[in-house]
A and B are shown apart, each in its own frame.
Chain A
Amino acid sequence: MSENMNINLKVWRQPSDQNTGSFETYKVQASPDMSFLEMMDVLNEQIIEEGGEPVAFDHDCREGICGMCSMVINGRPHGPKQGVTTCQLHMRSFSDGDTVVVEPWRASAFPVIKDLSVDRGAFDRIIAAGGYVSVNTGNAVDANSVLIPKDTADKAFEAATCIGCGACVSACKNASAMLFVGAKVTQLSLLPQGQAERESRVVAMVNQMDAEGFGACTNTGACAAECPKEIPLSVIATLNREYTSAKLKGR
């Protein structure tokens, strides 16, 4: 066991979307081997013992694949490391005595539910608008009955690794959801199964994205730099291309 570290936390506390929030400061002792969420668990136990209201934050699988954990840590979604979610970020990434500022995703389309937990329902509504493929009912089709070239499958898979956490929105200075929508549109437009709704899908998803109040893309690249799954910026170019060609064809 390595020595425990002293961490000064500055955490955003907000009872609900209807109330204004503010920062509270806490002192926590954490092992460098703990994940950031485990450190937050220690904080909450401490708060509960003192009779306070624990900090609400989203988490689920804690192995970097569910997309539930969020938190902007020292100004960066999922903290200072590249290609990791908050649950996979370890306290050894910080130094003893550090002050760490923890904020929720901040976007008008992601209202705060409580403290660090935000409502990412806007993403669900974008998916519902067009992020699906139609399949025949009945028996499951044999795997690989539809042939897909390896490099196409690889590109589709790269886009499909998006876990929908919303780090792209939180990193973007415009709170734009283009990387998320771009990833979904790229994945489905590359595969034969996605061709039936190819044009209607991209128009419906972009319409929903605009309606949710996300900003427009200015190609700063912050989204791709902060994406825990390292989705490339090229999916946004693909989205632009798919959307424009669908629109020019009268969709």
Chain B
Amino acid sequence: MKLLSFLFTSSIGRKLIMALTGLFLCLFLVVHLIGNLQLFKADGGYAFNHYAWFMTSNPLIKTVSWGLYAMIILHAVKGIYLAMNNRKARQARYEVSAGSANSSWSSRNMAILGSIIFIFIGIHMGDFWREYKFGDEITWRSYTQDYNTQAVTWTEYTPVEGQKIYAKDIEGGHMLVAKDLYSEVYDAFRQPWIVWIYVLSMLALAFHLLHGFQSAFQTLGINHPSYSPIIQFIGRAFAILVPLGFAAIPLYVLFQ
């Protein structure tokens, strides 16, 4: 462990933590987005609720998600620490500052953009994660899927005391009784003010990624005339497509 102590004690080490946790969070964004695309299915939430159950009960996923919470907190705490330290490195400010002449807007506002995203994660987890795990307002649905036609039918379900989510095979099909996170999402996104919070937060995420993605590779020491243009291209595409995919969900629900 002594070999790795530099990650917490030197400026370059702290930047490495920002880069590594940041890239891990980019990977998470992809997985999260792919899973959430199931919200577009008009199946009463069968696929999405099944997925939500899997993601909150599978031991491997649960372990990874604790790692994810740690990464989010580490990225945020180290980021705030670095931003405060960097401010201290220039106590007397410039009268005239021409930052736009030599650097991109997002690169100069990473801490603000990151703070917006951090607050958003809090709101977002309060909306859905907390409600799904601990809330008692969430409704339940019972689904049956026919093996031959793949058609899904569902009814509202009244959970008993200590109700467990379960799935089982039935005559000619499959059955699922689960918490209805799908409807929870749809109910939330029918309220315009929630949709705008989500869309604006995704805009902040886009600008954060626009600088952050390629910046992480520079911090890891990867800067090469052949590879850097590719990394920058992927970074720009990632910064546009991923937040756009996330923002599409609330907008779809609101305007459908």
A interface residues, Cβ below 8 angstroms from B: 10, 12, 23, 72, 74-76, 80, 101, 103, 106-109, 171, 173-176, 206-207, 209-210, 213-222, 225-226, 233-234, 236-244, 247-248, 250
- 0/1 interface trace, chain B 1-20, chain A, CB 8 Å (1 if under): 00100100011111110000
A243 to B15 CA separation, bound complex (whole angstroms): 12
A241 & B221 in contact (Cβ 8 Å cutoff): yes
**Chain B residues whose C-beta falls within 8 Å of the C-beta of A80 in the assembled complex:** 101
B12 & A243 in contact (Cβ 8 Å cutoff): yes
A216 & B218 in contact (Cβ 8 Å cutoff): no
- 0/1 interface trace, chain B 94-126, chain A, CB 8 Å (1 if under): 111111011110011010000000000000000
Which residue from A75, A176, A233, A243 sits with its C-beta under 8 Å from B96?
A: A75
- 0/1 interface trace, chain B 174-188, chain A, CB 8 Å (1 if under): 000000000000000
**A210 and chain B: residue at smallest CB distance:** B11
Give, as a whole number of angstroms, the nearest-CB distance from A105 to chain B. Answer: 10
Which residue from A23, A207, A218 sits with its C-beta under 8 Å from B110?
A: A218
Q: Chain B interface mostly helix, strand, loop or mixed?
A: helix
Q: Chain A interface mostly helix, strand, loop or mixed?
A: mixed
**Chain A residues whose C-beta falls within 8 Å of the C-beta of B87 in the assembled complex:** 215
A237 to B82 CA separation, bound complex (whole angstroms): 19
B218 & A247 in contact (Cβ 8 Å cutoff): no
A239 to B220 CA separation, bound complex (whole angstroms): 10
**B107 and chain A: residue at smallest CB distance:** A220
18 contacts between A and B (CB under 8 A): A72-B94, A75-B97, A76-B98, A107-B90, A108-B88, A173-B108, A175-B86, A210-B11, A213-B88, A216-B14, A217-B15, A221-B102, A222-B103, A226-B102, A233-B218, A239-B12, A240-B220, A248-B3
A75 to B99 CA separation, bound complex (whole angstroms): 8
B11 & A216 in contact (Cβ 8 Å cutoff): yes
B223 & A215 in contact (Cβ 8 Å cutoff): no
B110 & A75 in contact (Cβ 8 Å cutoff): no
Knowing A206-B10, A239-B12 are in contact, say whether A75-B101 is a contact too (CB < 8 A). yes
**Chain B residues whose C-beta falls within 8 Å of the C-beta of A241 in the assembled complex:** 220-221
Knowing A103-B96, A210-B10, A247-B13 are in contact, say whether A108-B222 is a contact too (CB < 8 A). no
- 0/1 interface trace, chain B 212-230, chain A, CB 8 Å (1 if under): 0011001111111000000
